[in-house]
């Protein structure tokens, strides 16, 4: 029986994630399944929570999928966003974490949890209130934001809104501290409405809020979850320089700033993260975003590894003896240098079992990856 609301204390730590890894190794997961970043031991497959309907059945399935994936030792990385399934995904994470801890399966310090904010949303527990009505009632009528603070891409970067979103995410997930908070598709959602100078000032204010919450131990890290801005040539309007974003974080938070992660799409169809040389760091030019992240000490999680199942129908050549389509899709993205983990959405019990078994297959070695990546050409 899950207890009444009481925030779960703690956050992912080097000691806790090391214990999670050690327990996973005892359960048959390979050592190479885990990656080290900032002394945290993170699984090379993470769990995404984006898709799904707002129904009790979907809530049950997602909560159980989180519970089984974490308990098995396969995944100690969970990713969500406040707008995913109208906050229900965050709430499902909170319930699953409560169960895992109360059952003695894990402790809070073993699991790395990320969420995102920026997009407008409603609350799935009140399904008759749509998104625009919710925003009017909760934010606009109370003077927290102005209607003009909502971009044509339905995104809000007003610091007041960002604060409210973090507070709500903490409550939704029943956490004292969120490991990582991303600003969600910020540039993509505002590029049609403002110029780059205006965006830089807006993102600076968002980073100031994140640093404020870091100082209160409410979040540990922050970053940018993106769709196109880091995957485009430099001459494209939606392009962003990662180095310039890091410089803003340094100006806001000093050398120990919390901007340590990005998220972007990467799969066998969206190859830009590995192949497009569109970034510069210092005097180093013609870097891919993954290479730039390595130089700037930024961790990378990747989204849509299965392209929302579309890649299951793709004709992918066999490599390294793999004839399983899921393995062929995931092993390359999972094994790409400077990628911490692709985030895989799953809810149904059979998919959970498949992904747990996938986690027991060792990622490719560098030599194997270099051979397998030839299918990209």
Question: Which domains does the chain show, CATH number per domain?
Answer: 14-376 (3.20.20.100)
Predicted pLDDT at 301: 98
Residue 48, CA distances (Å) to 169, 338, 346 in order: 16, 19, 7
Within 10 angstroms of residue 192's Cβ, the number of other Cβ atoms is 11
Tokens 């590029």 identify what position?
191
- d(CA 309, CA 290) in angstroms, rounded, equals 24
Predicted pLDDT at 4: 57
The candidate with the shortest Cα–Cα distance to 315, out of 325, 306, 304, 307, is 325
The dihedrals phi and psi of 322, each to the nearest 5 degrees, come to -75, 130
Q: Which SS3 state, helix, strand or coil, does residue 311 take?
A: helix
The candidate with the shortest Cα–Cα distance to 113, out of 173, 54, 190, 162, is 173
Q: What is the pLDDT along the chain (377 residues), one digit of tens a residue?
A: 444 568 999 999 999 999 999 999 999 999 999 999 999 999 999 999 998 999 999 999 999 999 999 999 999 999 999 999 999 999 999 999 999 999 999 999 999 999 999 999 999 999 999 999 999 999 999 999 999 999 999 999 999 999 999 999 999 999 999 999 999 999 999 999 999 999 999 999 999 999 999 999 999 999 999 999 999 999 999 999 999 999 999 999 999 999 999 999 999 899 999 999 999 999 999 999 999 999 999 999 999 988 877 888 888 888 888 888 889 889 999 999 999 999 999 899 999 999 999 999 999 999 999 988 887 66
Helix (H) or strand (E) holding 279: strand 277-281
Predicted pLDDT at 5: 65
Q: Which SS3 state, helix, strand or coil, does residue 92 take?
A: helix
Predicted pLDDT at 75: 98
- Residue 203 makes CB contacts below 8 A (sequence gap 6+) with 157, 183, 186, 245, 248
- Residue 198 makes CB contacts below 8 A (sequence gap 6+) with none
């Amino acid at each position: 029986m899950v207890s009444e609301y009481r925030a779960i204390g703690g956050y992912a730590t080097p000691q806790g994630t090391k214990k999670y890894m050690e327990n996973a190794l005892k359960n048959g997961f390979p050592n190479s399944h885990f990656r080290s970043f900032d002394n945290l031991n993170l699984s090379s497959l993470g769990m995404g929570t984006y898709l799904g309907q707002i129904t009790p059945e979907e809530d049950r399935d997602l909560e159980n999928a989180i519970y089984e994936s974490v308990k098995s030792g396969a995944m100690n990385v969970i990713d969500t966003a406040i707008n995913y399934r109208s906050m229900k995904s965050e709430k499902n994470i909170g319930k699953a974490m409560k169960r895992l801890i109360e059952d003695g399966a894990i402790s809070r310090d073993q699991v790395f949890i990320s969420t995102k904010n920026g997009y407008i949303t409603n609350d799935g527990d009140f399904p008759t209130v749509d998104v625009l009505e919710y925003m009017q009632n909760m934010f606009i009528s109370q003077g927290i934001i102005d209607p003009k603070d909502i971009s044509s891409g339905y995104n809000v970067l007003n610091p007041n809104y960002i604060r409210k979103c973090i507070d709500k995410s903490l409550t939704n997930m029943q956490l004292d501290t969120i490991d990582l908070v991303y600003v969600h598709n910020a540039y993509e959602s505002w590029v049609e409405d403002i110029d780059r100078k205006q965006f830089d000032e807006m993102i600076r204010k968002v980073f100031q809020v994140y640093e404020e919450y870091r100082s209160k131990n409410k979040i540990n890290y922050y970053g940018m979850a993106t769709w196109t801005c880091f995957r485009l040539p430099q001459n494209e309007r939606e392009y962003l320089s990662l180095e310039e974003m890091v410089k803003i974080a340094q100006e806001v938070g000093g050398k120990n700033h919390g901007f340590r992660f990005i998220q972007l799409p990467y799969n066998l169809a969206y190859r830009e993260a590995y192949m497009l040389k569109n970034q510069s760091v210092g005097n180093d030019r013609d870097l891919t975003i993954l290479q730039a992240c390595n130089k700037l000490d930024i961790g990378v999680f990747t989204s849509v590894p299965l392209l929302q199942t579309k890649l299951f129908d793709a004709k992918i050549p066999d490599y390294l003896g793999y004839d399983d389509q899921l393995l062929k899709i995931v092993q390359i993205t999972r094994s790409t240098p400077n990628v911490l983990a692709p985030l895989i959405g799953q809810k149904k019990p059979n998919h959970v079992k498949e992904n747990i078994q996938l986690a027991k297959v060792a990622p490719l070695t560098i030599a194997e990856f270099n051979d397998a990546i030839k299918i990209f050409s």
